[in-house]
Chain A
């Protein structure tokens, strides 16, 4: 519990209505998009300016109060859970798009701007911001930068860090620091911006973001390839990339999801197919025409039973809606769904899929997965029940095997969700010990009192 005078001081900083202390409100800031993590904060603060955030952090720093920065709280890593209580610093009310510059092809936004709102505003100007975590309807720009988020488009266009050109960050001390600018090129000293991009709220609070933009692609085409063999599907993706074609999106949907989606909203999917691969090409109309013909050829050569090409924008939209409903299909399927976020090198995709099959056989757990096949980023899921202690323990072990398999192929623990709480027990295994030590030193230097999102990313000493 915080002392009453702390609450009073917070109210002085942001105004009384922007400080929430009712238990009902604390409850609604105790969770994120994960199934298992929850912890009540002591207070929720809803600032509207960097200056308010600066004063809040200064107060917290002086009184050693944990602060969990939070956007929409829809991340799936446990990252925005106030695991040590204290203050939830929620930026959802800082939601102004400050500037869209067509001339510079950049835009500057406040951290609470919702990604979809941003892209709708950009589309009016014929512009496009590609990083597209599938939570785009809710996620905030601050959250996507703090998590260095990615999504389907990243196979061609790269992840968030490839777009951030300027940040304003408030440090634990309360200092407001400006990094980068509005130029795409910037070779001035250390790349400190990247320290905060993907920092999961542990180093500072992002209060302003400048990102570079690209022109909205003029044309696009969506295809759906049906495979009877998942491994062949994975190989087909590698074959396409090896042929020098980079589709805008390459997504993977397994038989489990196909069947679940047909149950939920029938749309005539082939329920007997082992897997579906959804692809999109985009660019100039001529390039799209040429590219899609080549992709269809490679898919067929690689063993696709059938390749459907969406007739029009509506059909394409239906395919992609199906893909984004995929996670709902998965998460509604069991009491507890352990879904992970490993990524393997693109050319190891087929091998990884094979290994997942072996793990499934060995452990007896059905392993479901969908994901971003184009960048080797899959979301394997194990269905279990957290209340069944024995089974849950075995499920955790099976998940560990999946991590091991991904790492052994030169992959990584998390492609896009971040480490947060969910994966921190595996973190030391996936990280060079010297690098881990350096990270801890950086954290200590930037946030000496460990007030910013404490308890995340790596296991604490003595814990």
Chain B
């Protein structure tokens, strides 16, 4: 029998749990429900399952876990909820309670508990795997390979980007001094995130370049690790999440700003305080840390306050039609929608077009897309329709996770649309 003590994480969000009055409006907004059209897909159904678990009417079963995992945490339900019930809080907390009671399942326990917190080892494993992808797998298009080895769990016929031949941390020095005379006096810590580090290092180089050219000193602390999103948000492993959080808080202790180019990382790090603060010390440290985190577009527009003339397109993007995809973590989790659009509208050499449903989830959501690739693809197909409706040549975003998904989606659709990080677009 499950004891009440096992629900201690959910109980922290009792208000959200009770706030849902079952109006069912979330059915209209939930990307997963829109594909499956069954009640366990949507916030109301998931919340009712958690209530039933607490009431002793349900047990921790495989079915329970599967339904709880089938959520992208996109927050569209909450954004449109008349009662303002934050059911994603309940879902994360319920995942955590389950891990406390039952542990994490293989093979994710190896990856989450052991590999991700060990950044250097993780890098080596990724590197090791990348040799194999070159030997065994044919190149499909450019640097995009069909089913890379290291993430064969991610595979299932999916197009995923190749592991970079050299990681970002191997390419850039720890301290990057401003390259222009009019120094701003601002020194930032750059949080690279796993994807930028291992898969999209050119984005990282661009971030460092752009900032140093605008008078900012950029430090890349070597001690930083994974943000922990897949661990504490995705898998509900709060204990490991805490270790990762503490590592990052320590690595960036000396900085006023922590700049990141991945919306998921930024938002997850801001969420340390909500989900991981188990002591007053952590509460204080995580709150302080959250205040330092700036998404790159937010940093450029709101902190540096760069003039529109600062933004120019790279040569290959000149004269192209560009559209923007709002990452859920940037938009609904952090409230950042204006800044990237300001940047894009400032660029004189491109034509910016707004995408219909630009803020709709792309269906990536990390481990969600591993567990439920079929649903993830269907959600992405709707995104593709939005992109197609704009007639854009390039879709830009601010989250390597979304990029990952959009690359797979455009390739599945044989679409010529190019996927880029917003920083890659900038000269």
B-binding residues in A (CB < 8 A)? 20, 22-25, 27-35, 44, 46, 72-74, 90, 92-93, 95, 112, 114, 116, 135, 137-138, 264, 324-325, 327-328, 331-332, 337
Contacts and interface: CB of A to CB of B under 8 A. Distances in A.
22 contacts: A23-B58, A24-B61, A27-B48, A28-B38, A33-B21, A46-B37, A46-B38, A72-B24, A72-B27, A74-B27, A92-B37, A95-B37, A114-B27, A114-B28, A137-B29, A327-B21, A327-B23, A327-B82, A328-B82, A331-B23, A332-B83, A337-B21
A28 B83 contact: no
A71 to B, nearest CB: 10
B63 interface: yes
A332 B48 contact: no
B37 A135 contact: no
Q: What are the 6 closest A-B residue pairs judged by CB atoms, nearest first? A: A328-B82, A74-B24, A331-B21, A28-B45, A28-B39, A137-B28
A337 B23 CA distance: 14
Interface in B29-53: 29, 37-40, 45, 48-49, 52
Interface residues of B, number: 29
A73 B29 CA distance: 16
Interface of B: 19, 21-29, 37-40, 45, 48-49, 52, 57-58, 61, 63-64, 67, 80-84
B82 A28 contact: no
Contacts of A264: 84
B240 to A, nearest CB: 27
Contacts of A27: 48-49, 52, 57-58
Contacts of B57: 27
Contacts, number: 95
Nearest to B26: A138
B28 A25 contact: no
Nearest to A21: B63
B165 to A, nearest CB: 43
Contacts of B37: 46, 92-93, 95, 112
Contacts of B82: 324-325, 327-328
B40 to A, nearest CB: 5
Nearest to A139: B24
Interface of chain A, main secondary structure: loop
A131 B28 CA distance: 18
B52 A138 contact: no
A90 B38 CA distance: 9
B83 A33 contact: no
Contacts of B45: 28
A328 B48 contact: no
Contacts of A112: 37
A137 B44 CA distance: 14
Contacts of B61: 22-24
A74 B81 CA distance: 14
A73 B24 CA distance: 8
B24 A25 contact: no
Given A23-B58, A35-B21, A114-B27, 17 more contacts: A27-B57, A28-B39, A31-B48, A46-B37, A90-B38, A137-B29, A137-B80, A138-B23, A138-B24, A138-B25, A138-B27, A138-B28, A264-B84, A325-B82, A327-B21, A328-B83, A332-B83
A32 to B, nearest CB: 7
Contact of B48 (A28, A44, A46): A28
Contact of A135 (B23, B39, B80, B84): B23
Contact of B49 (A24, A35, A137, A331): A24
Nearest to B33: A92
A86 B132 CA distance: 54
A108 to B, nearest CB: 20
A23 B58 CA distance: 7
Contacts of B21: 33, 35, 327-328, 331-332, 337
Nearest to A115: B28
